[in-house]
Chains A and B, each alone.
Chain A
Amino acid sequence: MTESLSGENQATGSPLALQLKSVSKSFGLVRANRDVDLSVEAGTIHGIIGENGAGKSTLMNILYGLHRADSGEMWIDGELTAIRSSADAIGHGIGMVHQHFMLVPNFSVIENVMLGSEGGSLLKEGRTATLKVLDDLGQNYGMTVDPEAIVSELSVGLQQRVEIIKALKGGARVLILDEPTGVLTPNEAQQLFEILKVLRDDGVTILLITHKLAEIMAITDAVSIMRNGEMVGHRKTRETNPQELAELMVGRQVLLNVDRGVANPAEPLLAVEDLSLTSSGGQELLKKMSFEVRAGEILGVAGVAGNGQSELLEILAGMQQATSGSIQVLGQTITAKDPKDPKSVRAMGVGHIPEDRHHHGLVLEFEAQENIVLGQHDGALAGQGKFLDNRAITAHCRTLMDTYDIRPTNPNLKAKNFSGGNQQKIVIAREMNANPKVLIVGQPTRGVDIGAIEFIHKQLIALRDAGCAILLVSVELDEIMGLSDRIMVMNAGKQVGILDREEANEQKLGLMMAGLSSDQAA
């Protein structure tokens, strides 16, 4: 399926800002990039799309000099170039904004921007120069940031802006953005796109790495698709469609939207009343939350990340204690005075798919089979009495690996060696297999590829139809709208309102996520 682009470029005749010719890179035994060709026209936004582990980030790290390619050529502005370090890359006008920001949190914006170009032993000179750069960028591209603000106090969107400024300050003419919208609100993402368009019109070439099809369609001029370390296609964005891109990425047909069917909600299994949480620093993280989740329904929780959803999930799972309020779950009451630990909450029949599988859901250094009993290891599943029954655990793990299509089907492989999607499936298999009456789910498909998303969504719907009460927290609005029967919107630790799925649309939810009540949003 690999296509050559060289003919196409000769046809259009636009100058190429960047060209890669059969670049290959291996890490130990893993070949992350195989004979990758890529041509990017100057002054365009070029998307690189692919599933997790397709080799997108490796390719960009080669471009930016963080990795050295084993073989292949790199041409920049028509010249054969060797990039051995990020300093080389910057020298050739390549700038990069990483997925995880490379900022010093306790430094101010200006201190971060001038880092690496302080200019002499006294800071004054570098400061003045940097201030001017900040000013210019603000005027030319509308990228204004308070130079004296401390980075850790800025919103994620503004922190990203600082990263972009850092890249542009070095005179970058090619800007690489690695999954830039993963941490942004829809609004912030929109602002970012506006800035990118201005930059493009100014002649900057932008490489946008993402696994979100909607972004590719919305903003790019051309797109290259990667799978298994290879380029499997190049398209002009206006000549393609999301379905075709998804199929190229996954290599087979995929359902972008799961059929939700009709919910038959019954009695409430989880009821939360006046739940509040105040941090030790006096910050109100949750304010008087009251809602219920009924058997056989999915209550989606929409909101920009960091508005109290994580705290809500942890309190419901027993990992944190609320300051006040009560939780009725399956007939038992949990209050601040009578807290329950995660073990007893689990014993009641509550399952928990945590937001962050690396921090909470899995012990990455453990084998798959050790992870498949995590939290259930003191039950009969893992063996009678005080000893582990490793043979039974292995058999159990194999069964779940078959049922939930976890690959590779090797119970002894460490969790860290599975792909993101399969890691998440391990967590989901474990929690769903316990037949929970109430399931608390956080970001079930974060960093999971399209094929696995489809599977996970189907499993959640199936569990709902089996009569489980599901609370679903996700920052992906599409996911909330695709799965939920009712949607609760959170802002600043408060519930803004609860909508039936039928009344909800993206705009209304977006306004509510910004804090407007449902009446105001209507």
Chain B
Amino acid sequence: MSAVTPPLPRWADVFLLPIINLSIALIICGVIIFAIGENPWTALIVMLKGAFVFPGSLGYTLYYTTNFIFTGLAVAVAFHAMMFNIGGEGQAYVGGLGAGLVAVFLAPSLPLLIALPLAIMMAALFGAFWGLVPGYLQAKRGSHIVITTIMFNFIAASLMVWLLSGPLMAPGQMSSQTVRIAESAEMAKIASLLGYVGFKVASSPLNLSFVLAIIALFVFWVLIWKTKLGYEIRAVGQNPEAAHYAGINVSRIIIITLAISGGIAGLMSVNEILGVQHKVILNFTAGFGFTGIAVSLMGRNHPIGIFLASLLFGALYQGGAELDFEFRTITREVVLLIQGLIILFCGALVHMLNPPMARLLARLIKPKELDHV
């Protein structure tokens, strides 16, 4: 019964707040860069050029963006059912196992039109399984999803270490990785595809997975807002008791949602394994699964928001690398710090400014007469 916060207009929630949050993060970053003796403005320019302008940089940015779209969508779909899936990292990792197994063992004897879709499907299925188990434990056994998905990240990590340094390790070398995957299971690079039709662009890791990610955004939108399954997912998320009253099998929806979530996370491995690394390596997920949580929060669990947030984080990764490269004083650690600050303000503290902003706007916008209903 403390002071009541007036509702925040939607436009302010979707556009104004993220911009303000981002600005605050950038200002603090600027102070840090100034403190270590560089010009923040020059650094910002270098970062932007590094993300979008230098040859090949846009390709790198979009390649990172692809990862973020998948992991962001994975968190978002679960969030619509009010399930906090922290396990994107593990689900993507195990998804990579699925893609790798097909690409290494089956694909050599299969044509591209079968091998590639099969590998993609297995990435999704393995990821889905890794999400489904915590989903089942939550729905049927009441084990909290946050705890189980975190635990499953560790299980995935240990499993992959064992596999990659044991049964699946490529013979005749010392790295924990598989042999190279068959060419029939590779995602084509966009630079080379553009080359075929006559456009010369600098080579980059950007591959067709980016197109897959865009499709995933659209499918996500249809699933959540246009299908009966999406309706049930949202009903379970907003009011599980009303969902039960309405005859929706709440446990079933939770399990299905977590499977879908894990499946989307698993698709991240298509970008990394089939698109770039061309073998399953240790820790190829590199924290993208966790950053997906920030992407989803900042993108307000909506495909357009997730795309924009992914692009931002992609630019940050690529531009950040350029900073490290250009300035002797700005080390990798400083870049990490900058990325962390932006994740902190746009992800973890995403709602920090809601109440003051709502009060400010309520004061600025003149009250209209109470229209009674």
List residues of A whose CB falls within 8 A of some B CB: 26-32, 34, 53, 61, 66-67, 98, 102, 228-229, 317-319, 341-346, 352, 354, 359-366, 370, 374-375, 377-378, 382-383, 386-388, 390, 407-408, 418-419, 422
Contacts and interface: CB of A to CB of B under 8 A. Distances in A.
Contacts of B226: 387-388, 390
Given A359-B241, A363-B242, A408 B373 contact: yes
Max chain A Cβ within 10 angstroms of own Cβ: one of B227, B228, B229: B228
Contacts of A408: 371, 373
Given A343-B248, A361-B242, 13 more contacts: A27-B4, A28-B6, A29-B362, A53-B372, A343-B249, A344-B247, A354-B245, A361-B245, A363-B234, A378-B247, A407-B373, A418-B373, A419-B373
A344 B7 CA distance: 39
B373 A364 contact: no
B82 to A, nearest CB: 11
B239 A364 contact: yes
B286 interface: no
A374 B235 CA distance: 9
A28 B238 contact: no
A425 to B, nearest CB: 11
A67 B1 CA distance: 9
B3 A360 contact: no
B262 to A, nearest CB: 21
Nearest to B7: A28
Given A30-B367, A342-B246, A359 B239 contact: yes
A65 to B, nearest CB: 11
B76 to A, nearest CB: 16
Contacts of B368: 29
A67 B9 CA distance: 22
Contact of B367 (A26, A343, A363, A364): A26
Max chain A Cβ within 10 angstroms of own Cβ: one of B1, B247, B370, B372: B247
A467 B246 CA distance: 24
Leading 4 A-B pairs by shortest Cβ distance: A343-B247, A28-B6, A375-B246, A342-B247
Contacts of B42: none
A158 B228 CA distance: 47
B240 to A, nearest CB: 10
A341 B229 contact: no
Nearest to A374: B246
Contact of B244 (A319, A378, A388): A319
B333 interface: no
Nearest to A26: B367
Nearest to B246: A375
Contacts of A53: 372
Max chain A Cβ within 10 angstroms of own Cβ: one of B246, B248, B367, B369: B246
Contact of A360 (B229, B238, B241): B241
Nearest to B249: A341
A27 B197 CA distance: 60
Interface string B1-35: 11110110000000000000000000000000000
A359 B242 contact: yes
26 contacts: A26-B367, A28-B6, A28-B365, A29-B6, A31-B370, A98-B1, A228-B370, A317-B245, A342-B245, A342-B246, A343-B247, A344-B247, A346-B247, A354-B245, A360-B242, A363-B239, A363-B243, A365-B238, A374-B235, A375-B247, A377-B246, A382-B231, A388-B226, A388-B228, A419-B372, A419-B373
Contacts of B228: 377-378, 382-383, 386-388
B1 A366 contact: no
Contacts of A363: 234-235, 238-239, 242-243
Contacts of B186: none
A28 B358 CA distance: 8
A169 to B, nearest CB: 19
Contacts of B6: 27-29
Contacts of B367: 26, 28-31
B232 interface: yes
Interface string B217-233: 00000000011111110
Contacts of B358: 28
Contacts of B244: 319, 342, 360
Nearest to A32: B370
A209 to B, nearest CB: 15
A341 B251 CA distance: 13
B337 to A, nearest CB: 37
Nearest to A422: B373
A408 B371 CA distance: 10
Contacts of B238: 363-366
A66 B246 contact: no
Contacts of A34: 370
B9 to A, nearest CB: 9
Max chain A Cβ within 10 angstroms of own Cβ: one of B6, B249, B372: B372
B40 to A, nearest CB: 38
Nearest to A228: B372
Contacts of B249: 341, 343
A408 B368 CA distance: 16
B242 A67 contact: no
A226 to B, nearest CB: 12
Contacts of A28: 6-7, 358, 362, 365, 367
Contact of B227 (A66, A386, A422): A386
B293 to A, nearest CB: 21
Nearest to A347: B247
Max chain B Cβ within 10 angstroms of own Cβ: one of A29, A31, A53, A418: A29
A354 B245 CA distance: 8
Nearest to B369: A31
A388 B372 CA distance: 31
A64 B6 CA distance: 20
A205 B93 CA distance: 69
A362 B4 CA distance: 23
B1 A66 contact: yes
Given A31-B367, A359-B239, A360-B242, A388 B247 contact: no
A387 B229 CA distance: 8
Contacts of A27: 4, 6, 362
B30 to A, nearest CB: 34
A29 B368 CA distance: 6
B1 A362 contact: no
Contacts of A361: 242, 245
